[in-house]
Amino acid sequence: MRRRALISLTDKSDVVPFARGLAERDFELISTGGTARVLREAGLEVRDVADITGFPEMMNGRVKTLHPSVHGGLLGLRDNSEHRAAMAEHDIAPIDVVAVNLYAFAATVAKPDVTEAEAIENIDIGGPSMIRSAAKNHRSVWVVTDPSDYGRVLEGLDGESGDAQLGLTLRRELAAKAYTTTAAYDATISRWFSARVNDGALAEHPVFDCGPGSELRYGENPNQAARFHREPGAREASVTTATQLSGKALSYNNIMDADAALELVKEFDAPSVAVIKHTNPCGCGTADTLAEAFARAWSGDPQSAFGGILAFNRPVSAELAAAIAKPEHFLEIVIAPSFEEAAVDTLKTGAKWGKNVRLLAVGELGARDANEVAVRKVTGGWLVQQRDLGFDHEQREVVSARQPTEQEWADLEFAWRASKHVKSNAIVLAAKGALVGVGAGQMSRVDSVFMAGHKAGERTRGAVLASDAFFPFRDSIDEAARLGVTAVIQPGGSIRDKESIAAADEHGIALVHTGARHFKH
């Protein structure tokens, strides 16, 4: 009996050479709809699935492969006498190769004007069913879900006659990939439904729809293997959706830092620039022009900025690129909505480091996706939470005797937004739309104040201070006063708030409570 291969594809890349290779190895080809048409147009002899099942494709293609003649041919155990008897009784022939990929659900729901009916019609039923059936019986069935595996399958078919174990090893690998494919596909659908049902609320049973991912050189350190998994259909401007215009491949740490940089500049409506080192901002500026915002950001901590990541919330012009591309501005990544063509050339050639700098264009930043979740892996489990978006839930209250000036208010709002992106305990010092000092990740909050002041130097005089969480003691206010800080914004809520308020009044500092904290661990 001739062996049989069932081919049913949405992505028909390279299917003709693969199908021809199967036919040359004396496989009978079975196919459906558009795939059958493509194969026939290439001169290949193909049987329709309807010939196998005895039923036509119906209900606009919703029902075509869901039949015992298909799934019995996939699931029947070749070495089980009862299975063989059942197959013979019901005229079910084995199917030895299944090449299936799925309806493009992720691409469909990524369309801005997609309707619910269109999305639902692109939920594949028969495809995942065939993949799972074939993968379950991988001892006998080759399941192919990725066109890049076509050549390996043909080689495996040639080699298995001489080494049965070799064929089984490859079929097991293909089965694992198949289940990863269907799991990611179902997760994409689940997330789409959950977003419509939960409308930004945290789902009780979150799923993550990441495909097989791409291999990175290594993780945080060379002894750690790493991969980058992208969620299908991601729409928010991000490192995941970015187009890399030049430079070396991104590393694990590059991706982490670039994400942190972009998330910071998303906080501001005015032209803004962030400089990130090890996921913490060492510079941030906002101004009427992007060039001035860059100058303010770079002045924050030029020493730490060396080898850092630079993010913009506006397109980068050729003129601005010339200001960036200087030998003393060594950068790993520049990330922005877009770059003028001349800006790309300038950044690549304006300084020696330009040949390696990664330029990432993410498109217009737009609105942030409230249905995205923040995920952290811990040993044996996952922590899942909503993203820390917006400040609408907060209530500004001046609790000191002195009111902030207009300039202090502007700087307090700027510093407060920046502090959300600094590792706790976080302290940010800012003046005139520029971050001038950062204290990050200290175990003591007063130590963070000290570190921020150390970085800022004389720029602390007249600066404002933002703290991501409340002050447990008045010592941070006292240290801020010593530095010359004139206004402070913090959540409040400590049992010793009165002591901090009294300290602010003693020093003539304007103190604002927000009623909300922004820890970042």
| Domain containing residue 313: CATH number | 3.40.140.20
Has residue 204 got a pLDDT over 70?
Answer: no
Give yes or no for a contact between 394 and 412, defined as CB atoms under 8 angstroms apart: no
Asked whether residue 412 falls in the same domain as residue 309, the answer is no
pLDDT class of 83 with cuts at 50, 70, 90 = confident
Q: Is 136 a catalytic residue?
A: yes
The pLDDT, as a whole number, for residue 484 is 96
DSSP string, 491-507: ----TTHHHHHHHHHHH
The pLDDT, as a whole number, for residue 295 is 96
In a domain, 492, yes or no: yes
Q: Show the domain range for 411.
A: 397-513
Give yes or no for a contact between 317 and 340, defined as CB atoms under 8 angstroms apart: yes
In a domain, 209, yes or no: no
The pLDDT, as a whole number, for residue 221 is 93
In a domain, 388, yes or no: no
The pLDDT, as a whole number, for residue 180 is 87
Bond into 101 cis (ω within 30): no
pLDDT class of 55 with cuts at 50, 70, 90 = low
Asked whether residue 57 falls in the same domain as residue 118, the answer is yes
Asked whether residue 190 falls in the same domain as residue 283, the answer is no
Give yes or no for a contact between 99 and 7, defined as CB atoms under 8 angstroms apart: yes
Lowest mean pLDDT among 9-18, 263-272, 508-517: 9-18
Q: Which of 136, 177, 432, 520 is catalytic?
A: 136
Tens of pLDDT along 474-485? 999 999 999 999
Residue 308: closest CA among 328, 344, 333: 333
Residue type at 265 in one-letter notation? V
Asked whether residue 433 falls in the same domain as residue 505, the answer is yes
Lowest mean pLDDT among 95-104, 325-334, 371-380: 371-380
φ and ψ of 85, to 5 deg: -65, -45
Tokens representing 81? Answer: 């006498």
Which one has a higher pLDDT value, 204 or 18?
Answer: 18
Rg (CA), the chain: 30
Asked whether residue 12 falls in the same domain as residue 157, the answer is yes
In a domain, 424, yes or no: yes
Asked whether residue 323 falls in the same domain as residue 410, the answer is no
Q: Residues 229, 234, 240, 245: is their CA dihedral positive or negative?
A: positive
In a domain, 350, yes or no: yes
Q: 164 burial class (0-12, 13-18, 19+ CB within 10 angstroms)?
A: exposed
Asked whether residue 192 falls in the same domain as residue 275, the answer is no
Of 89-103, 159-173, 462-476, the range with the highest mean pLDDT is 462-476
CATH number at residue 193: 3.40.50.1380
pLDDT class of 447 with cuts at 50, 70, 90 = very high
Give yes or no for a contact between 154 and 22, defined as CB atoms under 8 angstroms apart: yes
Residue 302: closest CA among 485, 434, 467: 434
Give yes or no for a contact between 214 and 227, defined as CB atoms under 8 angstroms apart: yes
Q: In whole angstroms, how far apart are CA 370 and each of 69, 376, 412, 513?
A: 45, 17, 25, 25
Lowest mean pLDDT among 13-22, 140-149, 206-215: 206-215
In a domain, 228, yes or no: no
In a domain, 236, yes or no: no
Tens of pLDDT along 139-152? 889 999 999 999 99
Tens of pLDDT along 220-259? 999 999 989 887 767 789 999 999 999 999 999 999 999 9
Q: 190 burial class (0-12, 13-18, 19+ CB within 10 angstroms)?
A: middle
pLDDT class of 87 with cuts at 50, 70, 90 = confident
Q: Is 229 a catalytic residue?
A: no
Asked whether residue 155 falls in the same domain as residue 302, the answer is no
The pLDDT, as a whole number, for residue 366 is 87
Asked whether residue 356 falls in the same domain as residue 401, the answer is no
pLDDT class of 91 with cuts at 50, 70, 90 = confident
In a domain, 375, yes or no: no
Place of tokens 């001046």: 398
Averaged pLDDT of the chain? 89
pLDDT class of 58 with cuts at 50, 70, 90 = low
Tokens representing 303? Answer: 């020493």
Lowest mean pLDDT among 19-33, 113-127, 431-445: 113-127
Tokens representing 394? Answer: 């907060």
Q: Give the predicted TM-score (pTM) of the model.
A: 0.76
CA distance 189 to 197: 12
Q: In whole angstroms, how far apart are CA 452 and each of 247, 261, 307, 422, 480?
A: 33, 19, 20, 12, 10
Has residue 408 got a pLDDT over 80?
Answer: yes
Asked whether residue 14 falls in the same domain as residue 162, the answer is yes
The pLDDT, as a whole number, for residue 127 is 86
The pLDDT, as a whole number, for residue 202 is 59
Asked whether residue 69 falls in the same domain as residue 182, the answer is yes
Q: Which of 12, 83, 278, 520 is catalytic?
A: 278
% of the chain beyond a pLDDT of 70: 93
Number of domains forming the structure of the chain: 3
Tokens representing 202? Answer: 């945290």
Has residue 154 got a pLDDT over 80?
Answer: yes
The pLDDT, as a whole number, for residue 85 is 82
Tokens representing 355? Answer: 């040949």
The pLDDT, as a whole number, for residue 200 is 59
The pLDDT, as a whole number, for residue 380 is 85
Asked whether residue 138 falls in the same domain as residue 183, the answer is yes
